[in-house]
Structure 1
Amino acid sequence: MDSGNPEMSIEVPPYLRVRKDGSVERLAGTQVAPPGLDPVTNVISKDILIIPETGLTARLYRPNSVAKTPQKLPLLLYYHGGAFCISSTSDPFYHNSLNNLVAEANLVAVSVNYRLAPEHPLPAAYEDSWDALRWVASHATEDREDHESWLKNNVDFDRVLLGGDSAGANITHFLALRLHASDSVPTEYFKVSGLVMVNPYFWGKEPIGVEITDTTRREMVNKWWDFVCPSEKGNDDPLINPFVEEAPALERLGCSRVLVTVAERDILMERGKLYYKKLLNSGWKGRAELYETKGEDHVFHIFNPNSDKAKSLIKRLASFINEQ
């Protein structure tokens, strides 16, 4: 969109703007929280480099108390949101949210710092996310000289889940589909039992539900996808609309249980509910659950973590993660 400003080329509200010289100015998700011991939750974290060639990194979390025991914990591979174009694993909102979830669920988490558009157009985020999954899975079978001790010593690789919010939840869907079709992940040793999909970012050309009347927010979401994935398919690209004919069948999800959470005031709510309904009727043999929070908007628990509803959502996520 031409803003009329000779210095400006594209604006993608409320996330970023791209100037005519190609430089990107992000308007959100740019703050940085350092890793380390969080005194409130007693969760410790550290940053690691996964793939030097692409610069792929992750932030690892575990309860600090686990260092004193040989206890094996569930593993959550987590993918942050941000419409594929903002935020990071060091975003203070995500860092605090992961500290809270790791403490509540008593698990090890790997928060993946995938590359962002527009500097790295899609499917870079999906490929980075898959590479991170494969790297983690390699710790279940290989004696690596460069193994990550928190994974090798503290993770029960029979209890692995993929989780994410918004764009990150979208990513988990496609990773689970790829798990079904891939022979490059040793699933006999590395078992992804479930998906935790918080306010998933799916969309489509034809509006449904509240999208029909909320034209202002619908137009905003339209611009997000057009920006990160310009194509002739637009908002019916299978990456953003998993229900179009050419999209992979939902019954191929490579896990046995899925939790989809939605928020009543979220413009993406209808898509999350549709995903849940389609999954139930797809022929997939697993168990799906839907959890709705009334009176709240998109990823409210990240921006207002101390509210009662945010704490209830974190408890529900932790409960699902620890189900056998």
Structure 2
Amino acid sequence: MGSNKLEVSVEVLPYLRVYKDGTIERIAGTEVSPADLDPQTGVVSKDIVIIPETGVSARLYRPNLTSEHKKLPLVVYFHGGAFCISSASDPYYHNSLNILVSKADIVVLSVDYRRSPEHPLPAAYEDSWAALEWVASHSGGGGGSEAWLKDSVDFGRVFLAGDSAGANISHHMAIRAGSTRIDGLKIHGIVMIHPYFWGEEPIGSEVMDPIRKAMVDCWWQFVCPSEKGSDDPLMNPFVDGAPSLSGLACDRVIVCVAEKDILRDRGRLYYEKLAKSGWPGTVEVMETEGEDHVFHIFNPNCEKALNMMKCLASFINQE
């Protein structure tokens, strides 16, 4: 008798498996938390479709008690997950962003971009750009219809933010905005948390950790198969052919890294390269000792995560 067990075609640990019949099994990032009033933080959220043509949605957050006359900074957030797992409704992101909104007194739009492998890159980048254009449609009496944006957002204080793959997206959105203007949208700053940048040649701690180096190589080759491998400019912003960091369309950047994160040295390199690029803005780096990749997502109420949120709130609200 034949076996009904599906044969695995590709395994991308610890994220997903692709079977030979085309079935995709996500191992992580599949849980969903509903949008609602969060009693712990007093933050309210709702889900909206923002790009009907592609079905791209977002989760919108704001403080529950907001004066109609008070305009708040807007953070457009891009979640992590190696471009292939998680979502804007993931409980980890939902809980973390509730805390950020309450600490910083801001509005957040968390973009639910399409994921690989069903929607290979550059779909995530195109969805994220379309989301920024949608946000801009609400500025200056534009045709946007979302009341939370029109009534509560100061469009002169818009920030891009993201962790891991989302931080990568934030970089590319700011680079694109430097050459393709979005009318009505001024990107004031970028919050980059444990950014997902990489490269073929190992640097720093990667040299001593070939197992994790190979694992990250595998992730990128899965979501963006290319003869350039991890030196594709989408993943390595420092290679020949990548747009100059000096074209970043914002005034301030904060790069957060974690001591035990395999991506730490790439984040520090981004900070160093940006500072020397001729870009006219200001960049700072914040390192959290003793922690690993996106620790604040998995444990948002720990002391170090709350401290990081306070620092990010200060960065966003800095005059």
Normalised by the shorter chain, which TM-score bucket? Answer: over 0.9
CA change 1:6–1:26 in 2 (3 A) is: closer
TM-score by length of 2: 0.97
The reply on whether 1:7 has 2:7 as its aligned counterpart is yes
TM-score by length of 1: 0.96
How far apart in 2 are the matches of 1:75 and 1:236?
33
How far apart in 1 are the matches of 2:108 and 2:6?
45
Q: Which runs of 4+ in 1 moved over 3 A?
A: none
How far apart in 2 are the matches of 1:306 and 1:136?
30
How far apart in 2 are the matches of 1:286 and 1:23?
46
**SS, match of residue 141 in structure 1:** helix
Q: 1:140 maps to which residue? A: 139
The reply on whether 1:249 has 2:244 as its aligned counterpart is yes
Cα deviation 1:244-284 (Å, max 9, x = unaligned) = 01000000000011000000000000000000000011010
How far apart in 2 are the matches of 1:277 and 1:138?
35
* Displacement of 1:142: 3.9
Q: 1:209 maps to which residue? A: 204
Q: 2:32 maps to which residue? A: 32
The reply on whether 1:283 has 2:282 as its aligned counterpart is no
Which amino acid letter does the alignment assign opposite residue 30 of structure 1? T
Which amino acid letter does the alignment assign opposite residue 52 of structure 2? P
What do you get for the CA RMSD once the two structures are aligned? 1.0
Aligned residue runs from structure 1 range 156-195, under 5 A: 156-183=154-181, 185-186=182-183, 189-195=184-190
**SS, match of residue 161 in structure 1:** strand
How far apart in 1 are the matches of 2:281 and 2:239?
22
Q: 1:16 maps to which residue? A: 16
Q: 1:311 maps to which residue? A: 306
* Displacement of 1:223: 0.5
Q: 2:60 maps to which residue? A: 60
Q: 1:261 maps to which residue? A: 256
Q: 2:151 maps to which residue? A: 153
Q: 2:115 maps to which residue? A: 116
How far apart in 2 are the matches of 1:220 and 1:142?
48
* Displacement of 1:6: 6.1
CA contact (8 A) 2:51 2:57 kept: yes
Cα deviation 1:163-217 (Å, max 9, x = unaligned) = 000000000000001111013x11xx42111000000000000000110011111
Aligned residue runs from structure 1 range 75-90, under 5 A: 75-90=74-89
Aligned residue runs from structure 1 range 221-260, under 5 A: 221-260=216-255
How far apart in 2 are the matches of 1:116 and 1:65?
34
Q: 1:49 maps to which residue? A: 49
Which amino acid letter does the alignment assign opposite residue 178 of structure 1? R
Which structure 1 residue ranges, 5 or more long, are not aligned? none
Which amino acid letter does the alignment assign opposite residue 218 of structure 1? K
Q: 1:100 maps to which residue? A: 99
CA change 1:182–1:73 in 2 (3 A) is: same
Q: 1:127 maps to which residue? A: 126
Which amino acid letter does the alignment assign opposite residue 258 of structure 1? V
CA contact (8 A) 2:68 2:151 kept: no
CA contact (8 A) 2:296 2:305 kept: yes
* Displacement of 1:307: 1.0
Aligned residues between the structures: 315
**SS, match of residue 65 in structure 2:** helix
How far apart in 2 are the matches of 1:143 and 1:314?
32
How far apart in 1 are the matches of 2:55 and 2:73?
26
Match of residue 214, structure 2, among 203, 219, 236: 219
How far apart in 2 are the matches of 1:87 and 1:6?
24
